[in-house]
Amino acid sequence: MIKNKHVAVIGGGIAGMETASVLSNQGLKVTLIEKQPVTGGKLNDWDQLFPDFSSSETLVTRQNSKTSHSGVNVVYNTEINRIEKINGRFELSDERDVKIFADAVVVASGFRVFDATLKEEYGYGLFGNVITSVDFERQMKKYGKLLTAQGTEPKRVAIIHCVGSRDAKVGNTYCSKVCCITGIKQAIEINQKLPDCEVFCFYMDLRLYGSKFDTLYLTAQKQHKIQFIRGRLSEAAEKPDKSLQIKAEDTLQGRPLRMNVDMIILLVGMEPGPSNSRLIQNNKMALDENGFLKSANIHDARNCTTQEGIFMAGTAICPMPVNETLENARSAATEVIHFFENKKNDGRF
């Protein structure tokens, strides 16, 4: 009987909560394991979501209430380090040796934000007015507008695309998928709160895929006078007044460009979660070429790991935005149910 089956979901971000609540609503016993004292994950730090500027907090609240109403058992302050198959069941343990047993596992352990201090030439951590897109979200949540480290309203801001993504120098050659649209969303928010502030986006390629993102790009150009410069930032330097000088090539003009700005926002990419390498140790799970969890088949077994009975949801698989994460999480739940019903996914093995 499927109703007697117990599923452990690792990670209480939106992906984990979505998978857990769908499975619980289907009558399965579900334990959601979260390392923090609260669920919601990275979304607890975000202010507004692209492309509709809806509140991140509202979404997390909805996810939280859905999770508790569906009867999911949530375990907090527990970080799973080890998944091992023993006598046909999975044994999950953390470093304190707390053990959880399950018939199937869903890994929804998410991603890590790229550490911008690794791009030393951009000055993050050295210059106070160089911030990341994550810092921007925290600032917007706290103060409602962007302010320099000196507490003044910036007059000119540069937004830098592809920081920690598509960069062989930091070991990440993949595209993080969400940064271009995040940059455009944040550029619009700056213009809405500070209409006198000029905003420049420095990009290599603009990747605004799908039906909604390009519309926002058009809006940024038409209604917010955001300027787009095709060139990669080579370096930033701080001036005595704490403003910044940046260097890039305006590749469409074919000339080097120098510019003074009050602030720089680095659109930091998404990296594989820090626990991935530990989680694959005692089972047949594997990592893909970028360090994310490997799917058995990227077309019709995206949520299946290479270990039968362990599934995955959300950004543990690859970078993806919030709406795709939730869709992906629901698809992971379907995959778990099929597994218990012995419906074979031919794409799997």
**Interface residues with other proteins (CB under 8 A)?**
121, 162, 166-169, 204-205, 230-235, 247-251, 254-257
In angstroms, what is the minimal distance from the CB of 252 to other proteins?
9
Element (H, E) at 189: helix 179-193
For other proteins, give the closer residue by CB, 85 or 230: 230
DSSP string, 10-66: E--SHHHHHHHHHHHHTT-EEEEE-SSSSS-GGGGT--EETTTTEEHHHHHHHHHHH
10 Å CB burial of residue 223 (0-12, 13-18, 19+) is exposed
In angstroms, what is the minimal distance from the CB of 282 to other proteins?
34
In angstroms, what is the minimal distance from the CB of 202 to other proteins?
10
The strand pairing partners of 293, in sequence order, are 287
In angstroms, what is the minimal distance from the CB of 203 to other proteins?
9
What is the SS3 assignment for 229?
Answer: strand
Cα separation of 78 and 64, whole Å? 18
Cβ of 293: how many Cβ atoms within 10 Å?
24
CB 330 within 8 A of CB 21: no
For other proteins, give the closer residue by CB, 1 or 168: 168
In angstroms, what is the minimal distance from the CB of 247 to other proteins?
5
For other proteins, give the closer residue by CB, 147 or 204: 204
For other proteins, give the closer residue by CB, 119 or 348: 119
